[in-house]
């Protein structure tokens, strides 16, 4: 039996807006709702036809306040479904598809996905510094033209730079999985060494072992206390445990998703889409 959370289980668990609201309430107030008038945690009752709970003294609270659902006129079940499909799909889902499935406007579907990506970004940024063995690489998104590494790229639409850092999943000597694999990706203005170093110092622990390719932009790492090793891709891709396959796998998923599902992503919103795919990487085992 498939124990993954599938659509059938979703429809059973979140069958209507009332159920969704109650779920939000339990997450937001796991110890119960504290009444500021009664000065204690009391029993709050749901007010009919409103996303509000009320104490016997008349004090009211809304679990939707200060969340992405605040003041929404879209059914909560629609929101939960949007979160569900963004979580379970490997390559992403377009706002146009959500529009067709829910019967909402494109503007509503796009805004829902935008708000959900904000939550994904917040989750990614709360993971602390990357440590252990960290693979780092950069890639280019969008634009047109030949391979930037080997041919001139004059008079072409400029590509956007994305830097990725992936902390490897550490394995103990006895074969036990220590866990901890996670990724962080950032849309940066340039591949210059100082721009790369700034991101690394901000997101990677100073005691980490860093593995990159032979790009000279990482030449400053050794002067800042990092243990830096690299693989020369023109000669080989793997030397023992020195490789960057994990971060390159992240690039593969990201690019296939952007070019295959979203087709075109503007520079303004590129980071939010990057956050979406980083979130999927970090939660791929759930």
Q: Which residue has the higher pLDDT, 127 or 2?
A: 127
- Is residue 153's pLDDT more than 70? no
Q: Which of 180-184, 224-228, 235-239 has the highest mean pLDDT?
A: 224-228
State the pLDDT at residue 237. Answer: 79
More confident residue, 137 or 147: 137
* Secondary structure (DSSP) of 72-117: --S-HHHHHHHHHHHHH-SS---HHHHHHHHT--HHHHHHHHHHHH
Whole-number pLDDT of residue 286: 54
Task: Report pLDDT for 140.
Answer: 92
Percent of the chain with pLDDT over 90: 67
Q: Does pLDDT of 176 surpass 50?
A: no
pLDDT beyond 50 at 172: no
Arithmetic mean of pLDDT over the chain: 87
**Position 210 in a domain:** yes
Inform me whether the pLDDT recorded for 175 exceeds 80.
no
CATH of residue 178's domain is 3.30.420.10
Indicate if 121 and 139 belong to the same structural domain.
no
Which has the higher per-residue pLDDT, 95 or 128? 95
User: What range defines the domain where residue 157 resides?
Assistant: 133-282
Position 173 scores a pLDDT of: 42
Please calculate the CA angle 16-19-21 and round it to the nearest 5 degrees.
110
Higher-confidence position of 27 and 5: 27
The residue whose two tokens read 């969704």 is: 20
Q: Dihedral sign, CA of 195, 242, 121, 259?
A: positive
Instruction: Reply yes or no on whether the pLDDT at 179 is more than 70.
Output: no
Residue 260 DSSP symbol = I
13 and 58 inside one domain: yes
Asked if pLDDT for residue 12 goes beyond 70, the answer is yes
Separation between Cα atoms, residue 196 and residue 218, nearest integer Å? 7
pTM passes above 0.85: no
152 pLDDT band, cuts 50/70/90, is low
Region 48-62: mean pLDDT is 94
- Name, in order, each residue with C-beta under 8 angstroms of 72's C-beta and a sequence gap of 6 or more: 64, 79
Average the pLDDT over each of 95-99, 157-161, 162-166, 250-254 and give the range with the smallest value: 157-161
118 and 145, same domain (yes or no): no
Find residue 239's DSSP bridge partners. 242
Domain presence at residue 244: yes
- Are residue 159 and residue 268 in the same domain, yes or no? yes
Question: Is the pLDDT score of 159 beyond 90?
Answer: no
pLDDT at 47 over 90: yes
* Residue 153 and residue 77 share a domain: no
* 153-157, 209-213, 220-224, 258-262, range with greatest mean pLDDT: 209-213
The model's pLDDT over 231-248, given as tens digits with 9 standing for 90+, comes to 988 777 788 889 999 999
Residue 2 domain-assigned? no
- The number of C-alpha atoms within 13 Å of 210 and in the hemisphere containing its C-beta is 27
Report the percentage of the chain scoring pLDDT > 70. 89
In this structure, the strands spanning 45-46 and 40-42 are unpaired
**Arithmetic mean of pLDDT, 160-188:** 75
If asked whether residues 169 and 259 sit together in one domain, one would say: yes
**Which of 125, 142, 175 is the C-terminal boundary of a domain?**
125
């Amino acid at each position: 039996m498939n124990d993954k959370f599938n659509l059938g289980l979703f429809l059973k668990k979140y069958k209507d807006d009332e159920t969704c609201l109650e779920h939000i309430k339990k997450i937001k107030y796991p110890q119960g709702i504290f009444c500021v008038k009664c000065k204690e945690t009391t029993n709050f009752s749901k007010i009919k036809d409103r996303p509000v709970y009320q104490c016997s003294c008349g004090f009211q609270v809304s679990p939707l306040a200060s969340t992405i659902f605040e003041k929404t006129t879209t059914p909560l079940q629609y929101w939960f479904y949007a979160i569900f499909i963004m979580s379970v799909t490997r390559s992403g889902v377009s706002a146009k598809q959500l529009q067709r499935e829910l019967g909402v406007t494109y503007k509503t579907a796009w805004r829902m996905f935008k708000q959900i990506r904000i939550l994904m970004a917040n989750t990614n940024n709360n993971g602390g510094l990357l440590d252990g063995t960290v693979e780092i690489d950069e890639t280019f998104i969008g634009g047109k033209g030949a391979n930037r590494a080997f041919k001139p790229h004059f008079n072409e639409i400029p590509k956007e730079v994305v830097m990725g850092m992936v902390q490897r999943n550490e394995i103990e000597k006895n074969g036990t999985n220590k866990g901890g694999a996670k990724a962080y990706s950032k849309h940066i203005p340039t591949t210059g060494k100082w721009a790369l170093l700034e991101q690394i110092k901000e997101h990677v622990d100073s005691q980490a072992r860093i593995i990159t390719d032979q790009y000279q932009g990482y030449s400053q790492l050794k002067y800042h206390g990092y243990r830096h090793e690299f693989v020369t891709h023109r000669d080989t891709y793997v030397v023992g445990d020195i490789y960057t396959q994990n971060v390159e796998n992240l690039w593969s998923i990201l690019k296939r998703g952007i070019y295959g599902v979203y087709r075109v992503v503007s520079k303004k919103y590129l980071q939010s889409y990057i956050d979406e795919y980083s979130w999927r990487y970090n939660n791929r085992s759930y």
